[in-house]
Amino acid sequence: MPDHPPAGPANPTRREFLVTTGSTAAATVIAACVPAQASSIAEQSTPADNATNIEGAVPITLRINGKEHRLRIDPRTTLLDCLRETVSLTGTKKGCDHGQCGACTVHVNGRRAVSCLSLALMHDGEDITTIEGLGSPDALHPMQAAFVACDGYQCGYCTSGQIMSAVALLKEPCGPDDAAVKELMSGNICRCGAYPNIVAAIQQVRKNA
Amino acid sequence: MHTFEFIRPADPDAAIATASQAKTAQQGADVRFIGGGTTLIDLMKLNVETPARVLDINRLPFDKIEATSDGGLKIGATVRNSDLAHHPTVQRDYAVLSQAILNGASAQLRNMATTAGNLLQRTRCMYFRDTAMPCNKREPGTGCPAITGANRMLAILGTSDHCVATNPSDMCIAMAALEATIHIQGTKGPRAIRFGDFHLLPGSTPHRETVLEPGDLVTHVTLPPPIPGSKQVYLKLRDRASYEFALASAAVVITIAGGNVTKARIALGGVGTKPWRSPEAEAALVGKPADAANFRKAAEAALRNAKPQTENGFKIELAKRCLTHALQTAVNA
């Protein structure tokens, strides 16, 4: 692979490639496995009128990253699955799906929570912030910038959860030393073991605050 | 996850009326209240819990921490664990409760988990959580593979031939030592249950974990007025430094005058099938000099009836040292 691939449609980024092929593959698999009405969900790109044909779907309004979303969802839908599959905000990651790894951490009304152990319906009318709402590639949140500067990741899968936790931590009671940060970040597992750099990134932001 | 109807009751009476239609309020309940969801949704994903109706009580008026007229504290059922742990009155007068909560779970889970939900936290026994395995707690009469299987994390106090599952809560251990009272609103009106009477020993009915009946809604917990001059410590020992369940823990509330212990409230976690208050340890301490020898005697008394499982004999000595160290830390505080 060249060091500097030319940009453009002929050279999709890894993310564009995965999104394109992933949605095609998902549509194929879903069409094969579930009742016909559900396959329309994957093909629809507009989330606002999603899932109108799902049996037993109920209405819900979520304010996600400052934008109101009126959705219809199966009551079983977790907040995590709602964000990823219904609203197509895939920055929030599914790790263990049982509240043990922290990859799915988002902010609910400004406080961090694991979105896998919450039903979306429990948050009707509430404010949800995901990694997509923190900053943009052109204007990173200071915590995102610190993770880049301190190399606070390796594979990156846990990173959005780590950053969401870290940003929430800034507003929580937390002692000044590294040990206090480690304790309050213990709900976010990093199997690459980037912990020292994650702590460094958080401490850098706290010192500059 | 099985399908269910999601209902947001307009008021406590509506919640109780719907819940009272359940066949049981214990394992396998067909109607469940949901607070934080950190236990219930986890178990619903595993098909260990399969309620047909889920009642969201998060918007009922149970989210306050208030002083009581007798100088104690009233904690609403849906108060989040993090809010309880950081409340100034709790940190000042009931430090053992704050310490216990902050030693449990993660910051995210503490933001979600509620007071009443933590009271009803379910065991982490892997056989209970795996529907492919027998489990007397999940499916009465199917047997207990833990007794001859993977039981390193399980209980050594209060066990039976039918179940050796540990109560995993940290908050409950502190509440046991603080002599909390649990307040319930049910179809027959309100009632108050002493903390020690709320959880049940497994005996031959491990699927019955509490005194709750269909329609019973925990509305709040009260703490008695703080004991003046009491020293309070929660010490938790576990396989890693944070975000792990206890192998052994101790909640200690003691007062000392003239070098002697005048009052002692002691509870143990990680070792019991329910939050384990130890009147034996308390009796061994009261009136005695607050020294290392008597702390060890109290620990011996607390674990006298302990019964090790095949893989967790180490917990007996671990729990003794945990309690001894917690007492010493309290005295030095």
Taking residues B130-139, what's their average pLDDT? Answer: 98
* pLDDT at residue A16 in the model: 55
Q: Which CATH number fits domain A30-38+46-133: 1.20.1070.10, 3.30.390.30, 3.10.20.30, 3.60.20.10?
A: 3.10.20.30
* pLDDT at residue A41 in the model: 39
**Residue B217: pLDDT over 60:** yes
Pairing verdict, β A127-129 and A58-64: parallel
**Residue B275: pLDDT over 60:** yes
**Residue A40: pLDDT over 90:** no
Of B41, B105, B107, the CB nearest to A78: B41
B-chain residues near A106 (CB < 8 A): none
Residue A126 sits at the chain B interface (C-beta within 8 Å): no
* pLDDT at residue B95 in the model: 98
* pLDDT at residue B108 in the model: 98
Inter-chain residue contact A58 with B108, CB threshold 8 Å: no
* pLDDT at residue A29 in the model: 41
* pLDDT at residue A209 in the model: 86
CB B230 within 8 A of CB B257: no
HEC-encoded secondary structure of chain A: CCCCCCCCCCCCCHHHHHHHHHHHHHHHHHHHHCCHHHHHHHHCCCHHHCCCCCCCCEEEEEEECCEEEEEEECCCCEHHHHHHHHCCCCCCCCCCCCCCCCCCEEEECCEEEEHHHCEHHHHCCCEEECHHHCCECCECCHHHHHHHHHCCCCCCCCHHHHHHHHHHHCCCCCCCCHHHHHHHCCCCCCCCCCHHHHHHHHHHHHHHC
Inter-chain residue contact B42 with A117, CB threshold 8 Å: yes
CATH of domain A142-208: 1.10.150.120
CB B31 within 8 A of CB B52: yes
pLDDT in tens, B95-133: 999 999 999 999 999 999 999 999 999 999 999 999 999
Return the structure tokens found at A68.
Answer: 């109101």
CA distance B43 to chain A (A): 9
pLDDT band at B333 (very low <50, low <70, confident <90, very high): confident
Residues 49-88 of A with CB under 8 A from B: 56, 58, 74-76, 78
Return the structure tokens found at B61.
Answer: 């008026």
The residue among A119, A163, A185, A189 with the most chain B CBs within 10 A of its CB, best to mutate, is: A119
Of B82, B112, B243, the CB nearest to A118: B112
ipTM here? 0.97
- What rounded mean pLDDT belongs to chain A? 84
Of A78, A168, A186, the CB nearest to B243: A186
Instruction: Report the range of poorest mean pLDDT among B109-113, B281-285, B293-297, B329-333.
Output: B329-333
CA distance A165 to chain B (A): 8
pLDDT in tens, A173-184: 999 999 999 999
pLDDT in tens, A67-107: 999 999 999 999 999 999 999 999 999 999 999 999 999 99
Numbered ranges of CATH 3.10.20.30 in chain A: 30-38+46-133
- What rounded mean pLDDT belongs to chain B? 98
CB A54 within 8 A of CB A115: no
Residue of A nearest to B42 (CA): A98
The residue among B42, B55, B106, B240 with the most chain A CBs within 10 A of its CB, best to mutate, is: B106
* pLDDT at residue A55 in the model: 84
Q: What are phi and psi of B289, to 5 degrees?
A: -60, 140
Number of domains in chain B: 1
Total Cβ atoms within 10 A of residue B188: 10
Numbered ranges of CATH 1.10.150.120 in chain A: 142-208
Higher pLDDT, A30 or B40: B40
> B62: domain range?
1-333
Of A76, A111, A114, the CB nearest to B1: A76
Q: How far is CA B134 from CA B27, B147, B151, B202, in A?
A: 14, 12, 14, 16
Inter-chain residue contact A99 with B109, CB threshold 8 Å: yes
**Residue B83: pLDDT over 90:** yes
Of B45, B112, B243, the CB nearest to A113: B112
pLDDT in tens, B155-207: 999 999 999 999 999 999 999 999 999 999 999 999 999 999 999 999 999 99
Share of chain A above pLDDT 90, in %: 73
Task: Residue A108: name the closest of A96, A124, A93 by CA.
Answer: A124
| B interface with A, Cβ–Cβ below 8 Å | 1, 3-6, 34, 36-38, 41-42, 45, 54, 56, 58, 82, 86, 105-109, 111-112, 241-243
Q: Give just the sign of the alpha carbon dihedral B127, B129, B131, B135.
A: positive
DSSP code of residue B24: -
* pLDDT at residue B223 in the model: 98
Residue of B nearest to A110 (CA): B111
CA distance B168 to chain A (A): 15
pLDDT in tens, B46-66: 999 999 999 999 999 999 999
Of A58, A98, A173, the CB nearest to B6: A58
pLDDT in tens, B14-49: 999 999 999 999 999 999 999 999 999 999 999 999
* pLDDT at residue A7 in the model: 45
Residue of A nearest to B51 (CA): A76
Q: What is the CATH number of the domain that holds B267?
A: 3.30.465.10
pLDDT in tens, A182-194: 999 999 999 999 9
B-chain residues near A185 (CB < 8 A): 107
CA distance B192 to chain A (A): 29
pLDDT band at A54 (very low <50, low <70, confident <90, very high): confident
